[in-house]
Amino acid sequence: MHDQKVLITGATGFTGGHLCRALVARGYAVRALVRDEQRAADLRALGVELIPGDLRDRAALQRAVQGVEAVYHIAALFRQENVTRQEMWAINADGTRNLLDAAAAAGVGRFVHCSTIGVHGAIKQPPATEESPYGPGDDYQESKTAGEKVALQYMAEARLPITIFRPGGIYGPGDLRFLKLFRTIQQRKFIMFGSGKVLYQLVYIDDLINGILLCGSKAEALGQVYILTGAAPVTLNELVQQIAQVVGVPSPRWHLPVMPLYLAGFACELLCKPLGIAPPLYRRRVDFFRKDRAFSIQKAQTQLGFAP
């Protein structure tokens, strides 16, 4: 049991909610910064202290960090319809700086920052490591890269004890993003574009939470960056076959060429964006079929004992 007080941002989201429950179960006094208290009824029922506000509200951040020994910064603005680049930047980059400023001023003892493997973009020579170059491919990845660089700057200047982790694609109970893929396969509507041989590396939510807790507790983690994914990549063909087996349907057999789909995405973006219309198809979505996402977790395994 602990009497340590910690702050979590993004606690009403998928990863943040699981992290909240894990920390409460371990006896931590948990405080959460929440934009909408109505969405946080389950957190209140757990005994989590709620601080209303968001990452643009410096006064709320000052209140949130007072008296806490550690901050777990999970909040981020994801890709959504009608969310602009400026809004993503305000939360994911500038908001991270605001929180770091508040935490440093309050003398917080530990800051754990959630980045994303998306900062690497498409992996040209898999598996990527923590030292692989940045290569963000869209507004979300660029804003998260900027936020990570702010945390790295604080780390370099020794303004806060910081650990950064880059999670892979996350799945598990309560996930909505990969639920769409499961449903499409279950409804036998999934079409494989391309060879299906691109590499994909997910992480189960319980494994990720264990990794985050290691980042927040191990002395070796201070001043470090870690990739947290599953143990090994699979091909997209293998991933789809595994999901089909789980949901009890035959694995899709048909493969269609991917390049016409990519060109269609390009045309949709070219025509729709000047008109302020959300394109029905993005090149980024087509990249699911085109680009490798494979990583090494050796550093986290060796230094932290991470064992997904």
Question: How much is the average pLDDT of 104-131?
Answer: 94
Residue 83 has pLDDT above 70, yes or no: yes
| Mean pLDDT across 257-278 | 83
Nearest Cα to Cα of residue 131 among 216, 225, 231: 225
In angstroms, rounded to a whole number, what is the distance separating the alpha carbons of residues 251 and 39? 37
Give the model confidence (pLDDT) of 162-174 as tens digits. Answer: 999 999 999 998 8
pLDDT beyond 60 at 1: no
Sheet holding 49-52, edge to edge: 49-52, 29-34, 5-9, 70-73, 110-114, 162-167, 225-228
Q: What's the confidence (pLDDT) of residue 37?
A: 83
| Spatial distance between the Cα atoms of 139 and 86, rounded to a whole number of angstroms | 9
Residue 270: what pLDDT? Answer: 85
Q: What is the DSSP letter of 128?
A: B
Backbone dihedral region of 250: left (phi > 0), alpha (psi from -120 to 50 degrees) or beta? beta
DSSP letters for 229-244: --SS-EEHHHHHHHHH
Q: What is the pLDDT of residues 196-232, one digit of tens each?
A: 999 999 999 999 999 999 999 999 999 999 999 999 9
Which domains are seen in the chain, by residue range?
A: 5-171+201-229+296-301 (3.40.50.720)
Over 70: is that where the pLDDT of 237 sits?
yes
